[in-house]
Amino acid sequence: MQWIQILSVVFIVLMLYIVRIHFKKGELPKIEAIIWSGILLAVGVLVLLEPTADFIRGLFHVTRLTDVIVIFSLMGVFIVMIENRIQINKLRIKLDRIVRDRALEGK
């Protein structure tokens, strides 16, 4: 297993943990947690299976520093996407609570 595969597996496990934590807190709906987990697990399978990993390395020619930087950047974008979605759901829940409280005050 190459270092990029190890790093990818660590990243995937960390992101699965983050998705699980936010799902347990109720900040991430069940369907979104399932979708994110499925995507992460699919990427994990692609990374862990040697022929698939060789194909991806060959496809992206991961031999130069620039390629590695791009990969890290994409990982960063993925983290931001998940965190952004979680924050949007938190705001939606807060807004629902505020609207509900104000509606009950009006009665």
Structural tokens at position 11: 């990243």
Give the pLDDT confidence score for residue 96 in this predicted structure.
95
- DSSP letters, 27-52, are SS-HHHHHHHHHHHHHHHHHHHSHHH
Alpha-carbon distance 20 to 3, whole Å?
Answer: 26
Say how many domains are in the chain.
1
Domain, as residue range, for 34: 3-105
In the predicted structure, residue 1 carries a pLDDT above the cut 70: no
Residue 68 banded pLDDT, cuts 50, 70, 90: low
**Angle, to 10 degrees, between the axis of helix 3-24 and the axis of helix 65-105?**
0
pTM of the model: 0.63
Give the pLDDT confidence score for residue 53 in this predicted structure.
67
* Tens digits of residue pLDDT in 21-63: 999 998 888 998 999 899 889 888 877 887 776 776 777 677 6
Alpha helices in the chain (DSSP H): 3-24, 30-48, 50-60, 65-105
